[in-house]
Each structure stands twice: as C-alpha cells, then as structure tokens.
Amino acid sequence: MPKEIDRRFQTAGVILKEWYAQTNKPRFWVFGASIPEPASGSRQPITDRLTVSIIEDAIFRAADKTAEAIEIPTGTPLSSYSEEASVFTLQDHWNSTPWCLPLYQPDIHLPSSFLQPKTLREAWNSDTVRELFVDRGWMTEREASVYLKSCVDTLNERMRLIDVNVMNARIAKWKRHIDISPIPSIIQDATGHAVYCNAAFRKITNLPHDINEVSVLDLFDYPSSSIRMLSWFHFAPASRSVSSSFLRLWSPTSDFKPVQRHGQSYTEGVSWMERDMTPEQFPYCTCTFFMPSPSAVNFTPEQMRDVMDRPTNIRNLTVIAHVDHGKSTLTDSLIAAAGIISADAAGTMRLTDTREDEIERGITIKSTGISLYFDVPQEITIPHDSRGREFVLNLIDSPGHVDFSSEVTAALRVTDGALVVVDMVEGVSVQTETVLRQALSENVVPVVVINKLDRGFLELDKDPEDMYRDFVRVIEDANVIIGTYINDIMGDVTVYAERGTVAFACGLQGWAFTLDTFARMYATRLGKSANKIVDHLWGDHFYDAERKKWTTEPISPEGKTLERGFCKFILHPIREVFRACMSSDRQRLEAILTNTRVHLNEEEKNLEPKKLLRTVMRRWLPADNALLEMSVRHLPSPARAQSYRCSQLYTGPSDDVTAEAIKRCDPNGPLVMYVSKMVPTNDGGRFYAFGRVFSGTVTTGTPVRILDPHHVLGQSRPNIKTVQRVVVAMGRKMEAMATIPCGNTCALLGVDQHIVKTATLTTDDTSHPIATMKFSVSPVVEMAVEPKHPTDLPKLVEGIRRMVSGDSLIQSRVDESGVHIVAGAGELHLEICLKDLVGYMGGADIIVSPPIVTYREGISGTSQLCRTKSTNKHNRFTAVAEPLDPRILKGIEEGGIRLDDPHKLADDFGWSNSEIKRLWTFGPTSAPSCTLSDSTTGAEYLREIKSSVVAGFEEATRHGILCGESVRGAHYRILDVSIHSSSAQRGIGQVLPATRRLFQAAQLSAGPRLVEPMYAVDIICPTSAMGGVYGVLNRRRGKILEEKEREGTPLREIKSYMPVSEGFGFVAELAKATGGKAFPTCIFDHWEMMEEDPTREGEAMDIVKSIRKRKGYKAELPVLADLVDMMRKKYDVDFNSCHCAVVTLSNEHHTHIMSQYKVAASNAESGSMGQKLLARGSTISMRLWVENAHSEHQPQVERDYETVGYVLSGSAELHLGSEVIELRQGDSWVVPRHTKHTYKITSDFKAVEATHPIAEEKGRDAAPQQN
C-alpha cells in the first residue's frame, strides 16, 4: 500500500489522507454522509448504519492559525481552501445533514455508546465500503480484512467511559491558555460520559473561570499552549435512556427552540439546522449544539426549595480531616447520589476541588459548599420529628492543610455537624485534632468516618483483628479530644461505632458502611431484629460457631480461639470480596456475587481486578447510603442546633427578639444572616457573600443592614444595601432562588462592596452582630509585595483589596516605607494568595520578598510608675504595666472573655464588680491580647478623655516599643490623672501622644521581651531515620516533647515545638537528612516569650535590629528618659544610724501610692489580696496584707496606714520581724499602723521615699517610728 495513501484508524474515526489531492478528483469522501456523486444516484447513503466519520486531516496542520467554521458545497475540491481553515461544516445536497470534521487526535476516549464494533462489520458487508477500500485500489481484500479487524480491536480497547479524573486534570492545565469566542459548551452528562458541541474557535487567552461546566477540553492532550482546532460531536441513539430533565441545550452563539427526539428533550440550533431531521437520521448526526445541561442532577430547584421550608429536614455539615485523608473523594459519593456526577466518577472527580491549583496539587485549598437533595431510602430510619423523607444536605468540603485552617473555621461557623474523616493507617493526626477542636469549640456535633480501608486489605494485608484494634485506637483518640469539650449545651457527643456515629469507608472506591448496614443485612437473612444484632457487632462479643452462641470470652470452653463478631461478620466477608476480585478467580467471584447479591453484566465481570473490585464494593456497600444515614440520624437539624448555639453565636442579649428568633429558627423573624466568607465571581472583581441564614428569610431585592464584626449597637452606623440576587450551589452551577429561609446556606450578590471577609446581615434596627470567628492559626509569615512596573501600583492596591476580602485570614498593611506587606499562615498559604493576587491584577508582574516571620512583644515583669505630660503641660498621666494572667490572656484570644460579657472574669478569675467596671478595653484591635483598666480614685474629666486614652493604648499596643510589633500579654493600669478643666486643653491631639508615650514607657520599664510564634511539629518516620530527625530539630531550636511508637506499624512518631522562624526550608532539610523517610506536619501552636533580653547583645537584639532596619526605624532603642516626664521636686534625704533614707512626699505624689493601697485594703477585707492591682513589689505588699487580713486589726480606711514608701533607685532590704524582703527600684510598700512586727530598712541606694500621710495631713512629723 503506497505511503501517500496510508490509512490509520483512530478512535475519532477512520482518518484518510487527502486522496482527492493525490488524484486531482473534484470530490472528496466523508464516510457516513452521502458517498455518491449527485448525478449517479445509484447508491444510497449509509448514515443509518455507519457511525464512523472518515476525516480528512491534512488541512489541520496549521497549529496556530485562526480556526473558522465554513461550509463546503459538495463537489468542491478541498485543495481550493487554505490550510488556515481548521473546522468545516459539509453540506450534503441530498439530506441537508451537516457534518463536522474533528481534529485528528489519537488519544480521544469515547463513551461506549459512541461507536459499536458491529457497525463496522455490517459496514464491511456493504458494497460501498468494499468499493472504497478494495475496488478503488487502496487495499487488497486481505489487507482490508486485517485492517478492519484492527479497527474493531481498537474500538473494543478504547470504547470505555472517559476517565473523568484525568479529564479534569487536563482542563486545569489548559484552560488558562484558552479563551474561545464563542465559548464552547463541553460538559459531562449524568452518566459520566463526555459530550461535546462544536462552535467557531479563535485562539485567545484566559478562559473564563466559570467555565467549570466546560470540563473536557483536556481530553485532548495538546503539545503546546495554543489551540489548533477543537471540534467534536455527540451521538445519542434512541436506545440510550437518559432523563429528559437534564438533556437541555445551551450555546452562546445561537437562538434555540426545543425539539423532541425519541423521548429526549433537545434544543435545535436554528442557525445550523434549516429543518428538522428525521428520527432515522438523528441518532447518527454530528450534532453541533446537542448536549446535556450543566445541571445534570436528580432533582429540581423547586424540589430543593420545598424542603428548605422544613428546618427539621435540613442538615448543614462540614467534612473535615487531616490533609490527604480522603475528604474530597468521600464527598464525591454524596454528590453522586444526588445525581450531579456519575457513580463511576465518584472518588476520582473531586467535584468540590474547583480551582486549577487544587486539581494540580491534589489538595483542597478553599472550602466549597454544595446543596444536595435526597429522598432517603425506606430502610433508613429517620428522626421522628422529620417532615417526610426528603432531606437537603448543605455540604461544605474543607481543606486539610494546616495553612488553610481559616477556611475550616469559616465552614464550621455556618454548619451544625462535622464528618471527621480519619485515615485508618495514619490515625488521628495533628491537623485532625486541630480541626476537631475547632468544631467542638463552635458547638458543632462530630461523627467519625474511618477512611481508606482498602489500605488495610491491600497495601498492608492486615489481619481483621489488627484492623479492629486500629479502629478502636482511632475512636479512642477522637473521644479523648471530644471528652474535653463535653458540656451541658450539646450533651454527650462522644462517638460510638455501635450507636452509628462511626462509619468505615473507602472513598476512592466509593463504598462505606456502619454497623447498622450489616445489622440490617443479617436481620433480613436471619429474621431477627437489627437492633439486637448490632450489639454483637462491636466490642468484646465473640461467636462460638460450634455451640452457635455468643460469648464475651475470646476462648471457648474447648480452648479454641473465637473470632470477634465485627471481624467474623463484617471484615471477613469484605476481605473475601477483595481476594475474589483481585485473584481473577471467576468461580470464586460468582460465589461472592451470589452471597452479596450484586449483579454484574459480562462486560463488568471482565474488568481488570481493581476496577472490578471498585464496581462490586460500590454496589454492595454504596458509600452514599451510609454517609446519608449517619448525617440524617446523628447530626442535628438547624431547628435543634440553633437552640443551643445561639448563646455562643449571638452577641446581643439572650432574650431579645433576634435571639429568640435564632433559637426557634423562625423564618418569620428578623433576618439574621452571617457571611462567613467571600467567594470571587467572574464579574470584574465582585464577590458572592456566602453564609448561613440563622433567622428570617433572605429575599432578592430586600435592603439589608450590614454589620461589620466590630459593630456596636448605637455607636456604629451600618451600611444598607439591597440584595440583588440569592443563589444556591447546585453542582458547579449557582442556581438563583427568590427566597431562602433560615437554617440554610446560600450566597448573595450585591452586598460585597461593604463586606471585608465577614459580616452580619439583618433587617432589624436592634439586632446585634454574630460573634467574630476565632482561628486556630495566625498570620505569622509575611512577604513584602510591590509591582514590577510602577504604573501597575493601582492594580496592586485593588488586587490586594480583593485578595484580603476573599481570604478569611490573610492580612495586609503598608509599612512606614510605603511597601505593601501581606501576612498569611504559612509559605503555602502566601503562595496561593499571591497567585490569586496576580490574577486579580490581570497578570501584571510583581516582586515578592523572601518570607518574614511576624513577632510579638511582651513584658517579663511589672513596670515602675511612669508619668507623662501632654504637650501643653496641662494634663498629666501615671500608669504601670504588668504581665497579664495567662489564663485571662488565653480567654481573650480564644474569644471566651469579651468586654460585652465580662461574667467569665468574675466567675473564673474572681474579679470584683468594681474591677470589671474599671476594665476599659482590649487591644490591639487586630489581635486583642492586652488589657487597659482604670485604677484612679476621684479623677475628674477622665471619662471625657477615655476615647483619646484608648486610642493611645491602641497605638502603643499595635506598635510596640522594641520594633513596632504588636504587644501581647500586658495589663496596663492608669493610676492617676490630672486633667485640665477646659475641653480645648484636653483634646485628642494633647491626650493621645501623651498616653501613647505613657504605655510605651511602661512596656520599656517592665522588662520588654520578644515573643515568637511556635510550630507544633509532628514527624512520622522509621526507627532508622530517628538520628537525622533529631539532628535537624536540634539545629533549628526544636524542643522534643514526646516520642512514641505507632501501634501496628514499624514507624515512630516524634512531637516537638519549633520556632516558626526556623521552619523555612525545614521540610527539604529533613528529607535530605533522612533520605525522604520522614514525613513532618507543622502547625502553629502558640506564642512563646524568648528568654533573652533584647536590650542586651544577643540573638534577640539581632532580631530586633533587623526588624527595625526593615521598617526604617532608628537602630538604637528608645530610652526611658525620652518617654517619661521626670518629677522636678528635690527631696531632702536624711540618713540615720539605721542607714534608712526618709523622704516626705508631696500630697500629689503620695496620692498615687495611697490610691492603689486603698483598693488593696478593700480587697483584703473581702479576702482578695488585690494581686491584679498592685505595682512592682506586689509580693511584699501582699505578704503584709495577707498577714493583716487574718488578724484582728484589719485595715479599714486610708488612715489605718502607718507608712508608705517607694524606691526611686538602687536596692534595699525590708526587715519585717525575722523575715528579710528585698526591695528594688520601683518597689513600693505599706505598713499598717497596728502591725505586730517592727520593721527596719537598710539601704545602699540613692533615695528611699517614705511618708506618714496621716501625720502630714495633721501637720505632725512625717518620719515614722523606726527601730
């Protein structure tokens, strides 16, 4: 056979060389259209029998040329057209059937309904076909027979369902390079088949993001980023049963009208079709615009909306897990059950991973919500308060990587239940514990899914008893965490396999079960109650087959080892199925299929072992049934959950109208919707506001009040915007609805301009906002970002705005040098956000600095009394700083202690009402971890300047004195103020700078320290790699906490702490040191104060200097004298024989000291020692008061004080009876008048201040009696 007419059969059809070009004949052949010349009429078209197109491919060689759709009349030689033409529509003169010429592509996978090999055999018997191959002289009959057989074999090999997972991975790779005008609709139907439409393509760039329904561009593995031509066709034979509800047509290029073909609803592209085709022609026509709808689901929006009005039939749940434990694959099973994807695609499609980088990396990055409708099967018991068997599941798939934990928090806030997925081999990992604690802290009820059981059967080949023990360990580890959160609000949420709150699954293969699943199977066969059977399927229940009895002893009376019920009746049958499918033993397989009552056709029985196993297990134990049952029966409905979650979520009074409506989940109450995250749309920087309706009903066109997280009723003015559109995620498509009642999740359009990250939407003027979310991670890693070209600066500013709005955790600021700083949870988090930033900027280039660690500043002790004056010298302030109680600090950071609800301070920390009332604020606003309180007595005009003082406190805590980092863990107390009576002299311009210096001075004199973020590092490795792990941790300042063996594996687990600053490059170094055998997980755990003094030479000072240099500060630290205003009074010092310096203070000065001890005396009466209110040296004073509080001479009023002293500088000793107490600079003391002890002060310092205030007031000698 000549080379120039060599024919190659490909899956798209028989591809012929341009034979007419070789022979110069004025016609060409399209196999499947009309073959004869117009004049002959001697042969009939064979389109009713042959479904293979013979395609000319020589014209498709111009890879980068513009593709056009043109028509070629019959008889026109193709050589008259240039090679730039890539798509042709051929119009046959006899039947007006349009034909598209697909591109030559050897790797297309066609659905089995596309071509049938028998059609080729029938075609071979046609004289027309014989003439084409043999009579024309292209092949001998023998060559043609061999050739046709190879065609049939090729079809048999390639006619399988499309590999949807590969398909989606390829589209992610290519769609950013393609922008098609008009956009082609290339989607997947409900059975998993890919169907295509044809349109005129042009080579542009940047495919629109919402082209998710166009999901099979990647079927063609293009060799370059340019598109030569895309043209495909879809055959829909009448024999193929497809629901008409999803066979709807869409195209942006033509007007359509519906047509009925064989019971299937189609739409006809009138611009291409001049007339209707006959039923005989239709199944084999290449359809330019015939295709299923993107919303290929088993339910309609109307059905879903009907169930949304029944709160008891709604479940809001989040799927949470450690990274790569199988959340998304398991989620696919529920999505497939709703008909959004095919059952074959479940486990591999990962529908909720919609971003390009999610598909490329194989991990979930953003939480994705989807609403599913189910008609629960009759065999599943539903709660008694359910209204019908129809349920709506609002499902959110969340990320598992620690860097994206904020997405988990946002998802949990709007859901009531959590599916906690755990890898059976790896067990409860670090991130599993973190996300489970997040769920419990939000009062979200958990259920556990132990996933990847196939690893136990195939990879590890574990014994059933060993697998059982692995399951018990996972459940126990989860319950240890759950047990720390049990409260009266939620009740006991401990998970138990026998209660149905634990499922066992293999998400990749699409199967799962609970104990109830097998209990029902055996109940049907044995005629017994499923409730009685399930009790024997877990725990120490063993079956004695000889005696046919159950026992709790593992050894029979005859001394035989008995098999546990769970192992014998659940794991053993599953293992037999695995062995039968993987062994290719047909006889064994038939027996297994009979026992499991699974029916397979011959084609399925001949599948390769892994595909056969997947098919059998999915039909025997469908994952959706188990997960649906567990969700419906054991997770709360909104009607129940909101009754106990309201107290934690709603910041207003628990008995106001809004709170009551939330508790009742009242659709007629005032609207309260919490927006937990912003989801980018494809429309010029706009966002969907995604959240949960807690009360009332959100309606399109309704004006809503937008309350930001820091909104205070009566003090803040909310923005009012109109809801333009209400949508619900159904598959990869947003379905618009007019209204959404409370208890459901949804997204809004039109309100995003006034929302940054989160907000509360309401229609009531008296409603308070929903509480702010508390994240388990902090933005501790920063990068400086600037545009490569200065002209792109406006794009950068707008891009950062969009990036910050669209990410729950990311923060940005502009430093003193004008550089934009972006802060995230880790390197991966920042990498993803910066990639989004470039997209928001339209692809503009940016320059990114190396990652920088965020530090905090703290204090190590109590400061001296610090005093500052305003610029006009008319206002004076005195304050101290002291370490904040660690328990109070934790409560503030976790949101347990709030200014608007201070009862926890009284209940848990013993604060008096007066102390609580004097607590002004928490700061800084961005990360509250410091407190400010008023400890003054009788100060005038203080309330008038409170806002200015708070502003100074905010400035001082947001930019610490060391290097401008936020201050953490400091309690500032204002001891005394002197305020000018004229409001003009005490304005914010006078007060704010003075108080800022005041609090900075207090920090500087309290022993400032750097506070660094710490990772909790969990490393799993074999024993042989332990030396390398320890070496790397030691070099990076790691602190080993625990080392233990992982049960059932040859691996060791090492837990440690490591500074975040040491984390850059940690994974790479660890892999190098251990030969890739160690697998680390790093998660932000806590802040830890560095022991080194940053004011002295050392590592801490080096860090401070580097930060100050980066921020453009002076290299030298400020000194205290530059911040405070020193007292100008000269004191007379009189040294006596006891070496005691006695100084009489002015009334103004001793009032500062007396005021604090007056409060201490009041606390002593009530048994409180006033620890929180005493300045430095509180240990001394406390000891005196402790003794005095239990004596008959309790201090009552100020005049009970005998002596008050204050150390200006140096050091001294206070001798109290036989006890000697050291005094240091800044210490003060008080001695009650009726103390039973004598005291003596010795000193070698410059001055000790002491006074006898009562004597001074009466004009007596100020010097106390001394011994």
Task: List all residues 6 or more positions away from 809 whose beta carbon is below 8 Å from its beta carbon.
Answer: 406, 775, 777, 779, 824, 825, 829
pLDDT band at residue 1149 using 50, 70 and 90 as cut-offs:
very low
Residue range 808-816: mean pLDDT, rounded: 85
DSSP-assigned letter for residue 1049? S
264: part of which helix (H) or strand (E)?
strand 264-269
Q: Which of 68-72, 469-473, 870-874, 1220-1224 has the lowest mean pLDDT?
A: 68-72
Given a cut of 70, is residue 748 above it in pLDDT? yes
For the cut 80, the answer to whether the pLDDT of residue 389 exceeds it is: yes
Q: Is the pLDDT of residue 370 over 70?
A: yes
Which of 1024, 1027, 1018, 1046 is CA-nearest to residue 460? 1046
Return the top range by mean pLDDT from 212-221, 876-885, 1038-1047, 1196-1205: 876-885
d(CA 732, CA 190) in angstroms, rounded, equals 13
Taking residues 854-874, report their average pLDDT: 90
pLDDT of residue 1113: 87
Return the pLDDT at 9. Answer: 27
More confident position, 314 or 103: 314
Of 96-105, 332-341, 646-655, 902-911, minimum mean pLDDT range:
96-105
Q: What is the pLDDT of residue 644?
A: 92
pLDDT of 1267 above 80: no
- pTM (2 decimals)? 0.64
Taking the CA atoms of residue 1078, residue 1082, residue 1088 and residue 1090 in that order, the dihedral angle to the nearest 10 degrees is 50
The answer on pLDDT for 46 being more than 80 is: no
3-state secondary structure of 220: coil
Of residues 858 and 1142, more confidently modeled? 858
Instruction: Report whether pLDDT(344) > 90.
Output: no
The residue among 1184, 1179, 1172, 1146 whose CA lies nearest residue 880 is: 1172
Residue with the bigger pLDDT between 455 and 1050: it is 455
Taking Cα atoms as reference points, which of 646, 482, 469 lies closest to residue 571? 469
The residue that leads in pLDDT, 67 or 1095, is 1095
Percent of the chain at pLDDT > 90 equals: 24
pLDDT per position as a tens digit, 1008-1051: 999 999 999 989 888 888 899 999 999 999 999 988 887 767 78
DSSP reduced 3-state for 882: strand
Question: Of 423-427, 566-570, 1039-1043, 1163-1167, where does mean pLDDT reach its minimum?
Answer: 1163-1167
Q: What is the mean pLDDT of residues 766-778?
A: 87
Percent of the chain with pLDDT over 70: 64
Cβ atoms < 10 Å from Cβ of 1081: 19
User: Quick one: average pLDDT of 733-747?
Assistant: 89
What is the pLDDT averaged over residues 368-375?
A: 86
Read off the tokens for 1090.
């560095």
Q: What is the mean pLDDT of residues 1195-1214?
A: 48
Give the highest mean pLDDT range of 231-240, 1039-1048, 1050-1059, 1124-1133: 1050-1059
Whether residue 188 has pLDDT greater than 70: no
**Residue that has been written with the tokens 């106990």 in this structure:** 644
Looking at per-residue confidence, does 146 or 798 come out higher?
798
Q: Is 271 left (phi over 0), alpha (psi -120 to 50) or beta?
A: alpha
Provide DSSP, 24-81. T-S----BTB--S-TTT--S---TTT-----EE-GGG--TTSPP-EEEEETT--GGGS
Mean pLDDT value across residues 1205-1209: 52
The more confidently predicted of residues 415 and 114 is 415
Q: Write down the pLDDT at residue 689.
A: 92
Tell me, rounded to whole angstroms, the distance of Cα 596 from its chain centroid. 39
3-state SS, residue 722? strand
Band of the pLDDT at 893, cuts 50, 70, 90? confident
Q: Is the pLDDT of residue 562 over 80?
A: yes
Q: Is residue 684 scored above 70 in pLDDT?
A: no
The label of the residue with tokens 């409730």 reads 531
Spell out the alpha helix ranges (H) of 125-198.
Answer: 127-130, 141-158, 164-174
CB atoms within 10 A of CB 1183: 16
- Comparing 202-211, 781-790, 927-936, which segment has the lowest mean pLDDT? 202-211
The answer on pLDDT for 58 being more than 70 is no
What is the reported pLDDT for 857? 94
| pLDDT of 250 | 24
Spacing of C-alpha 578 from chain mean position: 35
Cβ(734)–Cβ(294) under 8 Å?
no
The most confident of 561-570, 1076-1085, 1252-1261, by mean pLDDT: 561-570
Owner of token pair 């509180």: 1178
Q: Is the pLDDT of residue 412 over 60?
A: yes
**Residue corresponding to tokens 């109680």:** 885
Are 689 and 751 in contact, with CB atoms under 8 Å apart?
yes
pLDDT in tens, 1238-1256: 444 444 333 333 333 322 3
Structural domains of the chain sorted by starting position, each given as residue range(s) with its CATH number in brackets: 3-158 (no CATH), 297-510+622-636 (3.40.50.300), 527-620 (3.90.1430.10), 641-762 (2.40.30.10), 781-850 (3.30.70.870), 857-1007 (3.30.230.10), 1013-1091 (3.30.70.240), 1134-1258 (no CATH)
More confident residue, 192 or 734: 734
For 1098, counting Cβ atoms within 10 Å of its Cβ (0-12 exposed, 13-18 middle, 19+ buried), the class is middle
Q: Tell me the sheet residues that pair with 811.
A: 823
Q: Does the pLDDT of residue 826 top 80, yes or no? A: yes
Angle between helical axes of 827-840 and 793-806 (0-180°, round to 10)? 130
Q: Answer yes or no: is pLDDT of 274 > 70.
A: no
Mean pLDDT of the chain: 69
Exposure string over 836-855, b if 16+ CB within 10 A, otherwise e: bbbbbbeebebeeeebbbbb
> What values do phi and psi take at 582, rounded to 5?
-80, -20
Residue 761's pLDDT is 95
Higher per-residue confidence, 308 vs 133: 308
- Answer whether 382's CB lies under 8 Å from 199's CB: no
**For tokens 């046609």, what's the residue?**
126
Residue 163 has pLDDT above 90, yes or no: no
Q: How does DSSP classify residue 758?
A: B
**What pLDDT score was predicted for residue 585?**
79
Mean pLDDT is lowest, of 323-332, 956-965, 1242-1251, for: 1242-1251
| Averaged pLDDT for residues 1082-1090 | 89
pLDDT band at residue 143, thresholds of 50, 70 and 90? low
Cβ atoms 1201, 1230 nearer than 8 A: yes
CB 786 within 8 A of CB 820: yes
Q: Which of 1168, 1153, 1243, 1241 is closest to 1198 using CA atoms?
A: 1153
Q: Is residue 680's pLDDT more than 50?
A: yes
